[in-house]
Amino acid sequence: MKRVLVTWCLGAYCSVAGYPAQAAEEARAEFNWRAAPSEEQIATLTLREAILRAFARNPKIAEAAAQIHVGEAELDAAKSAWYPQISLQASGGRSGQTDTDGSSNNNASGGLTLSQLLYDFGRTGGAIDEQHALSDAYRYSLYDTMTRVAQDTLRAYLEVKRYQALTLAARANIDSLEHVREMAKMRADAGLSSQSDVLQAQTRLAGMRATLEQYRAQQRSAQAQLTVLTGVVSDNLPELPQSLLQQQVTLNKIAYEKSAAVRSAQAKQEAARERVRQAQSNHWPTLKVEAGRTRYENDNRAYWDDQLQLRVQAPLYQGGLVNARTRSAEGEREAALADIQQSKLDINQRASAAYADMIGAQQRQQAGEDQLASADHTRSVYADEYKLNKRSLNDLLSVEQDVFQADSMRTVALYDGWDATVRYASAVDNLLDIMGIDREANSGQTLPSL
C-alpha cells in the first residue's frame, strides 16, 4: 500500500507539472562556430534597406528583443502569486506520534495542499508593478539599441559615399593632369620648352594616381565595414535623403521625454520605486487560506487528515533584515534617478557636439566651394597663358593642386556635415522617424517589425 501511495503521488505531480513520467532525451542542436555570417550581392542598396538589414543582422538587436521576452516571463511569474498554489507531497518511512490517547507509528503519507493568497499589504502588487516597469524599460532599451545600430549603419554608408566622391575627384584631377602633360609634350616637341616639363607633369600625375589608389583602398575598407553591418555587397548606393538636413535643431528645447534612452531610465526608476514599496511591506503580515487533505498509513489503520485554515504570517524580528532591504532599495532608486540625469546629459552632450560639427562643416563646405570656383577660373587662365609662354609649368601644376585640394575639402566637408546631421538625429532620437522606420517610439506598446 505504501508503494502504491508514493507512486500515485509522483504520477499526479508529473501530470500537474506537465512533465512526462519518463522524459526522452532531447537531441542537442549542433552549431558551427567557425561559420562566418552570410553575405549576398545585390544591385542597389538603399539607405532604408541597409538599416533594416542591419537590424536583422545585429546581435545586439536580438539580445534586446530576447530581454523583452525575459521581462514578459518575469511579469507572468509575478502575477502567478495571486493564483491558487497546489502542491503534492508524499513521504515513506516510519514516524512516531505520541499524545494523551497513546502513540501511533506512520509508515507513509501523501496528500494534496491548496493555498490562496488573500492580502500581503502590497508585496505582490509591487512585484507586478515592478515587472511592468521593467518590461517598458526593456522595450525602450530595444528602441535605443535600434537607433544606435541605425547610426552605425548610416555612418558606414556615408563613409562609402565619401570615398566614392573623393575617388571621382581624384580621377577628374588625373584627367586634368593628363591634359597638362599633353600640352607640355606638344610644347617640348615643338621646341618651346624642355623635356623636363614633361617629366615634371608625369611625376605629378604619378603622385595623383597614388592618391587615387589610397582613396580606392579606403573605399574598399568602408565597403567592407558596411557589408559586415548589413550582410550585403553593393557598389550602387543611392543619394541620402534630404529630410535629414531639414530636421529642426533645438538645443535649448530638446524633447528628452521622447528619447528611448531617457524613457528606459525612467522606467527603471519606477521599477526601483516599486522595490522600495515591496521592501517596506515586509513589516506587515501575509494573509492566505490553506486547505489540505493528507492520507496517513500506520501499523493499525489508515486515515485522512483534512484541514482548512486562515494563515497569518507576520515577521516580528529578523535582525534588521527588512530595514536593510529597504535602505538598499532606496539606494537603487537614487541610482536610477541619477541614470535619468546621466541620459539627459549624454543626449545634450552628443547633440551639442554634433551641432557644432554641423555648423563647422557647413562653413568649411562653403569655403571649399568658393576656393574651388576661384581655382577653377585660375586654372583656365593659367592654361591659356602657358600656351602663350607667359606662365611656367610649375604655375599650371600648382593651380591644378589647388583645384584638387579645394574639391577634396568641399567633399570632405559635405560628408562631415552629413555625419554630424546623422549624429544629431541619433542623439535626439528621431533618426528612425526621419527614415520612416516605425518602432512605436512614443507608446512603446508593440515590438517593431524587423
CA dist., res. 131 & res. 137, Å (int): 9
CA dist., res. 352 & res. 426, Å (int): 12
From the list 18, 8, 23, the residue with the least C-alpha distance to 88 is 8
CA dist., res. 325 & res. 394, Å (int): 81
Percent with pLDDT over 70 in the chain = 86
Residues 6 or more apart in contact with residue 161 via CB below 8 angstroms = 237, 240, 415
Res 85 pLDDT > 70:
yes
436: left (phi over 0), alpha (psi -120 to 50) or beta: left
Average pLDDT over residues 405-423: 93
What average pLDDT does the chain have?
82
- The amino acid sitting at 236 is N
Average pLDDT over residues 12-21: 44
pLDDT category, 447, cuts 50, 70, 90? very low
- pLDDT score recorded for residue 23: 41
pLDDT tens digits for range 364-398: 999 999 999 999 999 889 888 888 888 888 888 88
Residues 6 or more apart in contact with residue 139 via CB below 8 angstroms = 68, 444, 447
pLDDT tens digits for range 33-49: 344 456 778 888 888 88
- pLDDT score recorded for residue 448: 45
- pLDDT score recorded for residue 450: 41
- pLDDT score recorded for residue 210: 95
- pLDDT score recorded for residue 4: 42
- pLDDT score recorded for residue 36: 47
CA dist., res. 267 & res. 143, Å (int): 14
More confident residue, 199 or 37: 199
Task: Reply yes or no on domain 2-18+46-434 having CATH 1.20.120.1730.
Answer: no
| Of the listed ranges 146-160, 293-307, 397-411, the one predicted with least confidence | 293-307
Q: What is the pTM of this model?
A: 0.78
Res 167 pLDDT > 50:
yes
Res 198 pLDDT > 50:
yes
pLDDT tens digits for range 322-367: 888 888 888 988 998 899 999 999 999 999 999 999 999 999 999 9
Res 119 pLDDT > 60:
yes
CA angle centred on 58, ends 262 and 219, rounded to 5°: 105
Angle at which helices 393-427 and 123-189 cross, to 10°:
170
Beta strands in 150-198 (DSSP E): none
Three-state DSSP class for 378? helix
Q: Could you state, in order of their start, the residue ranges of all structural domains in the chain? A: 2-18+46-434
- pLDDT score recorded for residue 101: 61
- pLDDT score recorded for residue 65: 85
Cell of 353: 557636439
CA dist., res. 64 & res. 192, Å (int): 73
Res 261 pLDDT > 80:
yes
| Of the listed ranges 68-77, 93-102, 394-403, the one predicted with least confidence | 93-102
- pLDDT score recorded for residue 96: 65
More confident residue, 264 or 104: 264
Res 93 pLDDT > 80:
no
More confident residue, 193 or 279: 279
What separation, in Å, do the N-terminal and C-terminal C-alpha atoms of the chain show? Answer: 59
Res 25 pLDDT > 50:
no
- pLDDT score recorded for residue 7: 46
pLDDT category, 102, cuts 50, 70, 90? low
pLDDT tens digits for range 290-316: 988 888 777 677 778 888 888 888 888
